Amino acid sequence: MPELPEVETVRRGLEPSMSGVKIMRADVNRQDLRWPFPERMVERLTGARVLQLRRRSKYILADLDRDETLLIHLGMSGRMTVSGDPLGQFVHEHPAQEKHDHVVFHMENGARVTFNDPRRFGAMDLIPSGAEATHPLLAKLGPEPLGNAFSEEHLVTALKDKQSPIKSALLDQHIVAGLGNIYVCEVLFRAGIHPARRASRISAARVASLVPIIREVLLEAIDAGGSSLKDFRQADGELGYFQHSFKVYGREGGACVTDNCDATIKRITQSGRSTFFCPHCQR
């Protein structure tokens, strides 16, 4: 599933073609994705102008000039790609429609934005603008890791009584929004913390040190266009490149990249997910 860097990369890629631009026509080619689409979705989107594109956790929010906000979740395999952009940001002409092109936005500037989702775990909804904090998918999310509300004090307080492993705790979207399996593995390696360590047993100083490391990893991943492992593509259809910078994720059996470390990267399963770490560098 795309994590925060991938979703932010897509949001930034969509901005030149969608922000401030009217949706001349919206094609909705099925009744649902993971859940049913909102009522009269075509009517409510057609003719609406996108005021701005925002991101909350792993969700894209498109504020419309009709006092509604379009919420978009890419799910496991969803992608949003742009073709025919008159601003010259993208080189692709409009391709032939594909089987899994479920929603298509025909923009006033000639761009076409296509939501393709083979596994249909994505979602779209229309909600009153300004009310996203009460939406069931967003209401209980923790602070944004790149925002001011995510501080050393917040993380230390949130984890001081947490009995779960630190890996699981950082994946808890109530504690911090947007982190996923890939980036938590990379963060814990940089911090030198074993993923199975109980969160409450880690000193406040070490927990506090995670905050700048989390930001560092996420910003590096955004700069690289995210990580493309299976389905993820940027808005122009290109791959992300951060997977080439992985220190531990997906590198089971590979040599640790730390100087003077002879250990190999190990993999364990935590809550049904693969965790990668160095048994020597992470304690």
Give the phi and the psi of residue 214 in degrees, each rounded to 5.
-60, -45
Backbone angle region of 233, left / alpha / beta, with phi > 0 → left and psi within -120 to 50 → alpha: beta
Q: List the catalytic residue out of 3, 6, 8, 186.
A: 3
Q: Which residues pair with 55 in a beta bridge?
A: 60
Determine how many CB atoms are found less than 10 A away from the CB of residue 283: 9
Q: Is 283 considered catalytic here?
A: no
Instruction: Reduce the DSSP state of residue 81 to 3 states and report it.
Output: strand
279 CB-near residues (< 8 Å, 6+ apart) = 194, 263, 266
Q: Which amino acid is at 254?
A: G
Q: Is 49 considered catalytic here?
A: no
Distance CA 160, CA 270 (A): 20
Q: Is 273 considered catalytic here?
A: yes
Q: Is 230 considered catalytic here?
A: no
Q: List the catalytic residue out of 56, 58, 79, 167.
A: 58
Q: List the catalytic residue out of 252, 267, 273, 279.
A: 273
39: which 2 tokens? Answer: 């009522």
Distance CA 280, CA 54 (A): 40
Q: List the catalytic residue out of 2, 143, 165, 195.
A: 2
Write the DSSP symbol of residue 86: T
Catalytic residues: 2-3, 58, 273
